[in-house]
Amino acid sequence: MTGRYFLLVLGLQIALTACTPAEKQHYLTGKTYQATVPGTRLSLITTDTTLAARFSWAVQQALHYVHDGSDPVGLWYEAALPGREAFCMRDVAHQSTGTHLLGLADHNKNMLKKFAANVAASRNWCSFWEINRQDKPVPVDYRNDREFWYNLPANYDVLSACYRQYLWTGDEDYLEDKTFPSFYDHTVADYTNTWQLGPDEIMQRNRWLHAPQPLDSTDNLHIARGLPSYEEGNPLRLLLGADLLAFEYTALQNYARMLRLQGRSSRADLLKRQAKKLQDLFDKQWWDKAGQVYHQALFSDRGFVNRPTPFILYNDIVLDSARRKKEIARLATLTDSNIETQTYLPLVLFRHDRNAAAYRHLLDLSRPDKPGRDYPEVSFTWIEALVSGLAGVEADAFSKSIKTLYRLPDDSLAIQLNNIPVFNGGIDVAHLSPTTSVLHNRTGETIRWKAAFYGQFDTIYYNGEPIQAVALTTPGGKTISYIDVYVKDMETGRAEVMP
């Protein structure tokens, strides 16, 4: 027996189908709900009707912001305030994985390449912060090469977004197309040096370096030319944000890995050393011993502010497990963040094993009466948080591998995600319970699957055969056990922990 339920989204009716296994080809048992939306192959089957409805909303809302390439800028999607008809660097970097999961890798590449191509010495190796559908810098953020808005984490954030796109797609253009490596090199060298962001000078740098002179403190395009953070409050007093160090650290690590793949080990080692110095500085100078938290910002009186920020854990700059635990606890109880900040929380909390808190944010961001729910960033990042956070699906084109980890907050909740775009094809991933996961491979090649489960187990069974498991501790401090297996194209693997 099949029942149909309808969700009204943007004037469209999207069907949620209640079905039994006999009526649909899937791995879940019992009563489930299937959510499919025209315009993308990604679909969800779940035992939770609320999650299915929110998935349908998020996908349809995101697709509402996607454009077909007929504009002068080419393929693009909105990644800025609603109505801007533009895309900015921070939002694109943050929305890009969700966009990929919708099957829109070409949109990502076009937009990331626009940012990469527009770095210029005349702008001190900045790009255009925000580009509109006419392929022009948005006038509200750009007057000329001397007067424009720019948050300094942006170059590093976009570099890491390119890295993540390579991990999901295996698209060699991110490594070999001249535009991208040129951008990476300019970012870790010229940009870092010009703005004095290296570990030996970042704490003493002049906040007004490269600002227009004479400085007009009432002109946003003067005071925001080189904002040293994504946090934009008190720009006249702000000297440095913790997020700038964190995004730079991650970019150095990511580019080092790309270089090593290309055989440029000496350059990679140099960047790794630079990242290590930056991380050491962060640990020594940004940790508040009295409050047992990391500082969020440094102001002109040389005083620190300790408001919680997701950017620190989002970038994995905290290596000390005890300190990381304190930062996780602080984020897990955060309730008063703005909508943009909250969009980072589900993924960060899932990756640090605070699954119940992460799930609460996931549902809160997508509730129908949520203020700001129509921001493009909300729907795109919601999709990433579902796939990479809740379902724990991560791709790595370097090793042609997929990781999965059941992070569902309720043992009775089961999900299956179909047509997740990976490499040159796709995969289906199902979490039937905390101890059983299934992966179907349609990538056109054999892939490695790291199937992980919470807990310490000596053995995990793969298609009924026992395999010795490996245990490790996650960044969130939890023990997981996993197996590495190979799944051939068009084959299905089942990993499970037996009682």
pLDDT digits (tens, 9 = 90+) for 441-462: 999 999 999 999 999 999 999 9
- Where does the pLDDT of residue 23 fall: very low under 50, low under 70, confident under 90, or very high at 90 and above? very low
Q: Specify whether the CB–CB gap between 359 and 51 falls below 8 A.
A: no
Q: Model confidence over 218-276: pLDDT tens digits?
A: 999 999 999 999 998 889 999 999 999 999 999 999 999 999 999 999 999 999 999 99
| Tokens encoding 413 | 């909740």
Virtual torsion, Cα 327, 328, 333, 338, nearest 10 deg: 80
- The C-alpha atoms of residue 306 and residue 336 are separated, in whole angstroms, by 15
Q: Specify whether the CB–CB gap between 249 and 278 falls below 8 A.
A: yes
User: What is residue 109's predicted lDDT score, i.e. its pLDDT?
Assistant: 98
User: What is residue 29's predicted lDDT score, i.e. its pLDDT?
Assistant: 81
- The C-alpha atoms of residue 426 and residue 428 are separated, in whole angstroms, by 7
User: What is residue 21's predicted lDDT score, i.e. its pLDDT?
Assistant: 36
Order of strands across the sheet that contains 401-405: 394-396, 401-405, 447-454, 479-487, 470-473
Q: What are phi and psi of 175, to 5 degrees?
A: -105, -30
Evaluate if residue 8 carries a pLDDT over 60: no
> pTM for the whole thing?
0.94
User: What is residue 115's predicted lDDT score, i.e. its pLDDT?
Assistant: 98
**Using H for helix, E for strand and C for coil, what is the string for 171-220?**
CCHHHHCCHHHHHHHHHHHHHHHHCCCCCCCCCCCCCCCCCCCCCCCCCH
Say which amino acid occupies 210.
H
- Where does the pLDDT of residue 167 fall: very low under 50, low under 70, confident under 90, or very high at 90 and above? very high
| Whether residue 214 has a cis bond before it, omega within 30° of 0 | yes
Evaluate if residue 10 carries a pLDDT over 70: no
- The C-alpha atoms of residue 382 and residue 290 are separated, in whole angstroms, by 36
User: What is residue 451's predicted lDDT score, i.e. its pLDDT?
Assistant: 98
What percent of the chain is modeled with pLDDT above 90?
89
Angle at 265 between CA 422 and CA 89, to 5 degrees: 50
Show the beta-strand stretches assigned E in 257-326: 287-288, 293-294, 297-299, 304-305
Evaluate if residue 14 carries a pLDDT over 60: no
Matching residue, tokens 């109880």 = 333
pLDDT higher for 12 or 393? 393
User: What is residue 6's predicted lDDT score, i.e. its pLDDT?
Assistant: 32
- Where does the pLDDT of residue 499 fall: very low under 50, low under 70, confident under 90, or very high at 90 and above? confident
Q: Which of 10-24, 114-128, 171-185, 475-489 has the lowest mean pLDDT?
A: 10-24
Alpha helices in 301-396, H assignment, sequence order? 311-314, 321-332, 339-342, 345-351, 355-365, 376-384
- The fold of the 79-374 domain, in CATH, is Glycosyltransferase (1.50.10)
User: What is residue 17's predicted lDDT score, i.e. its pLDDT?
Assistant: 46
User: What is residue 7's predicted lDDT score, i.e. its pLDDT?
Assistant: 37
Say which amino acid occupies 413.
L
Going 150 to 155 to 156 to 161, the CA torsion angle's sign is positive
Over the chain, what is the mean pLDDT? 93
Side-chain-facing half-sphere of 122: CA atoms under 13 Å: 7
Say which amino acid occupies 301.
D
Domain residue ranges of the chain, discontinuous segments joined by +: 3-61+393-496, 79-374
- The C-alpha atoms of residue 222 and residue 218 are separated, in whole angstroms, by 8
- The C-alpha atoms of residue 8 and residue 332 are separated, in whole angstroms, by 32
Neighbouring residues of 486: CB distance < 8 A, sequence distance ≥ 6 = 446, 447, 448, 449
3-state secondary structure of 241: strand
The residue-averaged pLDDT of 394-400 equals 97
Q: What are phi and psi of 445, to 5 degrees?
A: -155, 165
Matching residue, tokens 């390449």 = 113
The residue-averaged pLDDT of 15-44 equals 72
User: What is residue 25's predicted lDDT score, i.e. its pLDDT?
Assistant: 53
The residue-averaged pLDDT of 408-426 equals 94
User: What is residue 411's predicted lDDT score, i.e. its pLDDT?
Assistant: 85
Q: What are phi and psi of 346, to 5 degrees?
A: -55, -50
Neighbouring residues of 436: CB distance < 8 A, sequence distance ≥ 6 = 494, 495, 496, 497
Distance, first Cα to last Cα, the chain: 33
Q: Specify whether the CB–CB gap between 307 and 296 falls below 8 A.
A: yes
User: What is residue 82's predicted lDDT score, i.e. its pLDDT?
Assistant: 86
- The C-alpha atoms of residue 496 and residue 462 are separated, in whole angstroms, by 7
| Tokens encoding 227 | 């904002």
- Where does the pLDDT of residue 334 fall: very low under 50, low under 70, confident under 90, or very high at 90 and above? confident
- The C-alpha atoms of residue 181 and residue 190 are separated, in whole angstroms, by 13
The residue-averaged pLDDT of 380-395 equals 98
User: What is residue 30's predicted lDDT score, i.e. its pLDDT?
Assistant: 82
Q: Model confidence over 278-320: pLDDT tens digits?
A: 999 999 999 999 999 999 999 999 999 998 999 999 999 999 9
Q: Specify whether the CB–CB gap between 15 and 6 falls below 8 A.
A: yes
User: What is residue 31's predicted lDDT score, i.e. its pLDDT?
Assistant: 87
The residue-averaged pLDDT of 458-470 equals 98
Q: Model confidence over 175-212: pLDDT tens digits?
A: 999 999 999 999 999 999 999 999 999 999 999 999 99
Neighbouring residues of 41: CB distance < 8 A, sequence distance ≥ 6 = 103, 418, 419, 421, 426
Q: Specify whether the CB–CB gap between 239 and 231 falls below 8 A.
A: no
